[in-house]
Amino acid sequence: MSTYDVAVIGSGPGGYVAAIRCAQLGMKTAIIEKYNTLGGTCLNVGCIPSKALLDSSHHYHDAITHFEEHGIEISGDVKANLEKMIARKQNVVDTNTSGIQYLMDKNKITVYNGVGSFKDATHINIAKADGKSEEIEAKNIIIATGSKPSTLPFIKLDKKRVITSTEALSLKEIPKHMVVIGGGVIGLELGQVYKRLGAEVSVIEYMDRIIPTMDASLSKELQKVLKKQGVKFYTKHKVTGVKTSAKEVTITADDKKGNPVEFKGDYCLVSVGRKPYTDGLGLEKAGVTLSERGQVEVNAHLRTNIATIYAIGDVVKGAMLAHKAEEEGVFVAETIAGQKPHIDYNLIPGVVYTWPEVAAVGKTEEELKEAGVNYKSGQFSMRALGRSRASGDIDGFVKILADATTDEVLGVHMVGARVADLIAEAVTAMEFRASAEDIARMSHAHPTYAEAVKEAALDATGKRALHS
């Protein structure tokens, strides 16, 4: 039987990063993945394929709506070829997943393809696709088995008409009317993909606003812009049923006033969140406990109730984000190596890759109000930037929340072009506990979208933005 210092179950961004860091730290490491390709949800059916389709559909949409204003004339029809877009997306996925295989080889990490399940706290059985199985032993085990889409109790996901993000990333046709249940990240990103390609898109959201966990100003701005692009929103609607026939889906809901309403579409995307995945893992054989929400329970060191078993990423509490899983992977590897790593969960940014993009880090205004913090706010509109006018991307703003007394930046919230990249500046500033004045006094290249961060900081420090 092969023995390891560390065995990682699951090869998503949590698992594969943990494995690399363990190997870097000199530990003999194995990784077990039930699918044939590495990379988990993120690389195979999550972050990467969704961004590939967002980019392709963005190009198409620009061609039919914005090229003309830029003086680009197209003779003949511009057509969206979904089959080609999906094929390109798959190519992007394949390149990325084989890149992870390369990283495993480079770091001398042994890869096992098969379903891993605990035999006891130090032994894992690996059931392979050909029916054979193999057992390995490991001093330390990291559970990184991720998550799967969740649904509502009364909705049956037939994966043909009533679909999850996984199917939405590989559709064979552009829907005529896609009804999206859940106005969170997946619903809005994939909703926008198909809206750009010509589908009618209706988003039904239970709460009173889309992306309800983000700062309310972001929800309002994004909804306004997406509405302008033609997406229909039904907030404060409670879905009560979903029925399918061969080519149609009927969704019933109670509207804001409690009156029954009906939506008919050819596809219904269910995007009401994801749930931790531990099926077939045999946790009970190792004695590892789960929380009431089905998450693997961990302490502040991401250790389960069994001292040599750790868990990271979507399968534990916290934001279900690839970069959060990655941080936790490094954290656990360094903990096992005897180091004392640290993660500041308040500084894990959140991004929605619609266009305009949405990005945030730190506290929202709602959280600061609830905590009774005395804060001040500075804001700057993207439309006032020379860079935005040059590209034509004038929607959105940057908002900086700072402590009213100390000026320390407490939260940064943005909507606009490329804010997914701009948020890194805010994370850096907050990691170093910068004041709004610190950001305001830094030189920002002109013309860039980043100038909105400087201007918002100037606004926060004493209403002294220069270009508004």
For the record, the structure tokens of 42 come out as 């993120």
Q: How far is the CB of 391 from ligand FAD (least distance, A)?
A: 22
Count CB atoms within 10 A of the CB of residue 355: 24
Count CB atoms within 10 A of the CB of residue 303: 18
Q: Is 301 a catalytic residue?
A: no
Candidates 25, 92, 121, 152; binder of ligand NAD (CB under 6 A) is: 152
Q: Residue 206 or 277: which CB sits closer to ligand FAD? A: 277
Which DSSP state fits 376? Answer: E
Interatomic CA distance for residues 372 and 365, integer angstroms? 10
CA distance readout (Å), 44 to 98, 128, 168, 171, 212: 11, 20, 13, 15, 27
Interatomic CA distance for residues 55 and 78, integer angstroms? 16
CA distance readout (Å), 396 to 184, 199, 228: 18, 24, 13
Beta strands 238-244 and 249-254, pairing class = antiparallel
CA angle 70, 393, 439 (to 5 degrees): 135
Please give the residues from 184 up to 203 whose contact with ligand FAD meets the rule CB under 6 A.
186
Please give the residues from 148 up to 187 whose contact with ligand FAD meets the rule CB under 6 A.
165, 186
Name the nearest CA neighbour of 355 among 309, 313, 401, 416: 416
Q: How far is the CB of 280 from ligand FAD (least distance, A)?
A: 5
Give residue 394's identity as a one-letter amino acid code: I
Candidates 63, 64, 127, 207; binder of ligand NAD (CB under 6 A) is: 207
* Binding partner of residue 454 among ligand NAD, ligand FAD, none, CB cut-off 5 to 8 Å per kind: none
Q: How far is the CB of 346 from ligand NAD (least distance, A)?
A: 16
Interatomic CA distance for residues 49 and 169, integer angstroms? 7
Q: Based on the shown chain and the rule CB under 6 A, indicate whether residue 35 belongs to the binding site for ligand FAD.
A: yes
* Binding partner of residue 239 among ligand NAD, ligand FAD, none, CB cut-off 5 to 8 Å per kind: ligand NAD
Quick one: which segment of 60-68, 87-95, 139-147, 410-418 binds ligand FAD (CB under 6 A)?
139-147
Q: Based on the shown chain and the rule CB under 6 A, indicate whether residue 147 belongs to the binding site for ligand FAD.
A: yes
Please give the residues from 247 up to 306 whose contact with ligand FAD meets the rule CB under 6 A.
277, 280-281
Q: How far is the CB of 417 from ligand NAD (least distance, A)?
A: 16
Quick one: which segment of 166-174, 199-207, 226-234, 378-386 binds ligand NAD (CB under 6 A)?
199-207
- Identify the bridge partners of residue 190 per DSSP, sorted by sequence position: none
* Binding partner of residue 184 among ligand FAD, ligand NAD, none, CB cut-off 5 to 8 Å per kind: ligand NAD
For the record, the structure tokens of 271 come out as 């995007």
Interatomic CA distance for residues 248 and 250, integer angstroms? 7
Q: Based on the shown chain and the rule CB under 6 A, indicate whether residue 387 belongs to the binding site for ligand FAD.
A: no
Q: How far is the CB of 181 from ligand NAD (least distance, A)?
A: 5
Q: How far is the CB of 249 from ligand NAD (least distance, A)?
A: 15
Please give the residues from 329 up to 368 whose contact with ligand NAD meets the rule CB under 6 A.
351-353
Catalytic residue among 59, 66, 446, 467: 446
Please give the residues from 310 up to 339 whose contact with ligand FAD meets the rule CB under 6 A.
313-315, 320-323, 325
Interatomic CA distance for residues 214 and 414, integer angstroms? 10
CA distance readout (Å), 151 to 1, 154, 393: 40, 8, 35
Q: Based on the shown chain and the rule CB under 6 A, indicate whether residue 419 belongs to the binding site for ligand NAD.
A: no
* Binding partner of residue 183 among ligand FAD, ligand NAD, none, CB cut-off 5 to 8 Å per kind: ligand NAD
Q: Based on the shown chain and the rule CB under 6 A, indicate whether residue 274 belongs to the binding site for ligand NAD.
A: yes
Name the nearest CA neighbour of 204 among 252, 150, 275: 252
Q: Evaluate the omega torsion of the peptide bond into residue 447 and state whether it is cis, within 30 degrees of 0.
A: yes
CA distance readout (Å), 331 to 8, 207, 262, 305, 320: 14, 35, 48, 17, 16
Candidates 80, 127, 212, 403; binder of ligand NAD (CB under 6 A) is: 212
* Binding partner of residue 187 among ligand NAD, ligand FAD, none, CB cut-off 5 to 8 Å per kind: ligand NAD
Name the nearest CA neighbour of 398 among 450, 353, 352: 450
Residue 115, classed as helix, strand or coil, is strand
Q: How far is the CB of 310 from ligand FAD (least distance, A)?
A: 12
Q: Are 48 and 353 in contact (CB under 8 A)?
A: no
Candidates 11, 202, 295, 435; binder of ligand FAD (CB under 6 A) is: 11
Q: Based on the shown chain and the rule CB under 6 A, indicate whether residue 460 belongs to the binding site for ligand NAD.
A: no
Q: How far is the CB of 169 from ligand FAD (least distance, A)?
A: 7
Interatomic CA distance for residues 347 and 329, integer angstroms? 17
Q: Based on the shown chain and the rule CB under 6 A, indicate whether residue 201 belongs to the binding site for ligand NAD.
A: no
Candidates 14, 187, 265, 349; binder of ligand FAD (CB under 6 A) is: 14
Residue 54, classed as helix, strand or coil, is helix
Any idea which residues carry the catalytic annotation?
446
Q: Name the residues that contact ligand FAD, by CB under 6 A.
A: 9-15, 32-35, 40-42, 46-47, 50, 115-116, 144-147, 165, 186, 277, 280-281, 313-315, 320-323, 325, 353
